[in-house]
Chains A and B, each alone.
Chain A
Amino acid sequence: MSAAKRPDAAVKLAGGAVYGTDLEAPGMLWGALVLAPVAHGRLRSVDLAGARALDGAVAVGPDDLASLLPGGGGDPERPIFPRAEISYRSQPVAAVAAPTLETARRAARAVRVDAEPLGVVADLEALFPEWPGSEAERSPDIAAHVHARHGGVEAAFRDAETVVRETYRTASIHQVALEPHACLAEVRDGVWRVWTTTQSPFGVREDTASLLGVPEASVVVEGTWVGGGFGGKGASLLEPYALVLARAAGRPVRLALGYREEFLLGRTTLPAVVRMETGVTAGRIVARRVRLLLDVGTSLPGRDFATGYSIGFLLGPYRTPAFEVEGYAVRTNKPPFGPHRAPFAPQCVFVVESHLAHVALELGLDPEEFRAAHLWKEGDPTPLGQPVGPCGLAAAFEAARALARRWRAEAAPGQGVGIGAGFWSTGTGAGGEALARLDGRGLTILQGEREIGSGSVLVGLRAVAAHASGLSPARIQIEYADSSRAPFDSGVFGSRTTAALGRAVEEAVRGLLTRLAERMGTVGPVTLEEAGDGLVAVHRSERRSVEELLTPEERAAGGLEASGRHYGRAGSIDERRVVAGTFYPYTDFTGSVHVALVSVDRETGSVRVDRYAAFQDVGRLVDEGSARAQVEGAVAMGLGTALTEEAIWSEDGRLENPGLLDYRIPTLGEIPPLEITFLEGFRGAGPDGAKGLGEPPIIPVPAAVAAAVRAASGAHLTELPLSAERVARALKLL
């Protein structure tokens, strides 16, 4: 096992790592939010008198913002407290702070919120019993609309020998990072400072500044250790409230969510409905139509990233001569939609894989053969007309089929084997920068992200710097500074950290090597080597001590510095295929193919995963231990999406299972033996051909499990999760 010791293991194992939930300051108050009592309503009044009467308590509501915020209230489109209309249950309508958490909770309960209930929209299909037509574009219920087509789809469907139509439904799921959201805020001398558990200090800075209507430069965000993110900690959530309270109190304020609140107002992924239609002639796909209704809760208009991005995953990595895709982001009285590790891709891949397998079975074809025959090859156009780059998908599929054949031969009666295939593209975000500093003994990388657990910062960036410099990781330090001092980076999400921020690190290190080369009177290449405690710069046979190559000023200032930046977004799409909305090109193409062996209980419908294998295209393996850890974690999380996880929303917009006892994530005993194979050589957009890896390995899990369940039992499920109850119903046991 090549698991390198993590540089953060010691502090975490000693209980010494300070997370957001551990934040505390002398003289601080404890904050609490007052949550809306209805999912939709006209707000008549928020009476804070009862809260303010409590000892040492501070309360802020909608009417206080004008006097507390320098610009008079922040973004009018996104007020932090609703002024007239409540749009989801658990929307914060006021905030309180007090010397103890007990008193703060009492103060929150003492706030009287008077709201007249209005009709609630919680169910996508009740809203659109018929599929939305063109008039829907102007509907206030539609937050975004995307539409693309190519290849004369009507004629292709008319001429097709067979057309198969199905409807799929996927569930609302929660990230369930073990650490809930938490922050500490202080406002002093015009500086709005917040310490917080976040995947994106700069994202929180930008968002918070705009929500509060203060200049970005006056907001300083300092990240803590993060107890898991998975997409839920990518944007601001509590920070604006904590800052407003701190401003009103004139003291630091700590604001943290209890786990129930974490479910109620954390950023969940919401349900979706997908209609799939596929035309086949002579065993070949001739036409596809995909329509998506995605619940985005109270997300604002224009936030169509989720829809435009998801749509691509619904077509899947399969050649399709004619297609039409159309997606609607639908507003409902639920909290704003949030990303969840590979946002919505596992659900989409479940839909497309299950559907195409179903099409094949309907036609009496082998479902794996059918998919393999249509799988993208390098150079094929994507539906939006972008040529597919180097991708290990086909090779992984091949390897997965060989393994599946072996497992099938060994399977007992009642067991079944299935394959799921998906792809991902390394995120770039808004780009990122890093600074490299070289002294006589080692290399320091200064950057703006905290380690959220995946290892992408402390292990990944370090490995990238080692690879680019020639030094061993032990000589490299990763340093973090708050948003006022660190170089900009857009965040730890989209599998982009090691891959995209890593490119900035790589460029910074190369900048240092170029400067050393100049000083050695050459144009390079120069690499670094360790010599005892010191370092030497090596060019061919010439070796110079790094210490001597630095100027006295540089030595006094801590070393020679160079910066790197990476704002790359590769690839472009054929805009002629776009009818409406925004579609996104792919940066690179990462294939993931999984094989599941499951048993289905013929009496209860419950599914047990007995064996599992993942074939993962990585471009270049940056650090094997971390890569394996990502696959292991993602597979477990994906098994939750596949089998048990479902946030249940009632018709009146209430979350019915806000807690870990009712929302079940996988436990230690539910993890099958897992075999992992990495495929190298299909170069990606990251440092020296690496690809982002945080998200890809979760993508095929529900698809692989569903295929195995069908093979084991004959049950064809069109809804996630594949709960025992749904399987039993499909098997007509209920």
Chain B
Amino acid sequence: MTERRLVLTVNGLAASLADVPAGERLLDTLRWRLGLKGTKEGCRTGGCGACTVLVDGESSLSCLTLTHEVDGCAVTTIEAIASDPVGRSVRDAFEREGALQCGYCTPGFVVALTGLLKERGRSAPLEELLDGLQGNLCRCTGYVAIARAVRAAREATA
């Protein structure tokens, strides 16, 4: 299980990891090896989206991702999302629209929306963006303010 070191670029910095068991999830690597706890642990079964991160720019559920699978990849978490201009507008839109309460789902939403906007660009129809967030659960806001923030972030990136 210790056959090789893994090298990931996490939030722009190289992270060289030894002794990563084959079954270790990216979520645990980020949170417990690298101390990046902004990425939240919810269901661990792919059902809530709280653990969403970007892997090479694409939004991924870190609870279902094996760390070995992303060897050599660039991982972006909520902690660095605002260093990307799209991520920054998403974050600002969430703040402005009051799109969070307890905040536990928030990193997942912000990262997932950033991924969608980067992938589909300014021309993405609003419906498509909202659809792309169907896997992210929020129990507090009733999604009303979140939908508002999606609209605002889309306009800001357009």
Contacts and interface: CB of A to CB of B under 8 A. Distances in A.
Contact of A19 (B44, B77, B100, B104): B104
B154 interface: no
Interface string A665-687: 11111010010000000000000
Contact of B102 (A3, A452, A661): A452
B107 A15 contact: yes
B42 interface: yes
Interface string A224-263: 0111101000000000000000000000000000110000
Interface stretch (A113-121, A317-325, A631-639): A631-639
Nearest to B136: A668
A636 B145 CA distance: 12
Nearest to B104: A227
B90 to A, nearest CB: 9
Interface stretch (B2-10, B65-73, B126-134): B126-134
B55 interface: no
Contacts of A625: 98
A336 interface: no
Contacts of B82: 13-14
Contact of A22 (B37, B96, B145): B37
Nearest to B96: A5
A306 interface: no
Given A15-B77, A668-B136, A3 B48 contact: no
Contacts of A175: 139
A15 B39 contact: yes
A671 B144 contact: yes
B100 A13 contact: yes
Contacts of B50: 178
B31 to A, nearest CB: 8
A227 B40 contact: yes
B103 interface: yes
Q: Which of A225, A632, A633, A668 has the most CB of B within 10 A?
A: A668
Interface string A635-650: 1110000000000000
B104 to A, nearest CB: 3
Contact of B38 (A9, A15, A665, A668): A15
B137 interface: yes
A647 to B, nearest CB: 15
A379 to B, nearest CB: 35
A249 B82 CA distance: 41
B47 interface: yes
A2 to B, nearest CB: 10
Interface string B90-127: 01001111101111111100100000000000000000
A313 B50 CA distance: 36
User: Which DSSP category, helix, strand, loop or mixed, fits chain B's interface?
Assistant: loop
Contact of B146 (A16, A259, A668): A668
Nearest to A225: B103
A668 B133 contact: yes
Interface range for A: 35 or more
A179 interface: yes
Interface in A140-189: 175-180
A225 B130 CA distance: 28
A25 interface: no
Q: Which of B31, B42, B134 has the most CB of A within 10 A?
A: B42
B22 interface: no
A180 B46 CA distance: 15
Interface string A201-236: 000000000000000000000000111101000000
B156 interface: no
B131 A9 contact: no
Contact of A15 (B37, B136, B144, B146): B37
A21 B143 contact: no
B131 to A, nearest CB: 7
Contact of B98 (A225, A227, A629): A629
Given A258-B44, A669-B131, A179 B141 contact: no
Interface in B14-48: 31-32, 36-48
Nearest to A640: B139
Contact of B103 (A230, A453, A629, A660): A453
B138 interface: yes
A228 B140 contact: yes
Given A5-B95, A6-B100, A671-B143, A178 B79 contact: no
A226 to B, nearest CB: 6
Q: Which of B102, B130, B143, B144 has the most CB of A within 10 A?
A: B102
A179 B137 contact: no
B78 interface: yes
A669 B130 contact: yes
A633 B37 CA distance: 26
B94 A9 contact: yes
Interface in A455-476: 455
B43 A660 contact: yes
Nearest to B41: A21
B65 to A, nearest CB: 17
A10 interface: yes
B107 to A, nearest CB: 5
B98 A5 contact: yes
Given A9-B94, A179-B42, A633-B101, 9 more contacts: A4-B98, A6-B98, A12-B103, A13-B91, A14-B82, A178-B40, A453-B103, A660-B137, A674-B144
Interface of A: 1, 3-6, 8-10, 12-19, 21-22, 24, 175-180, 225-228, 230, 258-259, 452-455, 625, 629, 632-637, 659-661, 665-669, 671, 674
Interface of B: 31-32, 36-48, 50, 77-79, 82, 91, 94-98, 100-107, 110, 130-131, 133-148
The 8 closest A-B pairs by CB, nearest first: A15-B38, A453-B102, A227-B104, A636-B142, A12-B103, A660-B47, A15-B78, A3-B98
18 contacts: A13-B91, A15-B79, A21-B40, A178-B105, A259-B43, A259-B48, A453-B103, A625-B98, A629-B98, A632-B144, A633-B101, A633-B140, A659-B43, A659-B45, A660-B48, A661-B46, A668-B134, A668-B147
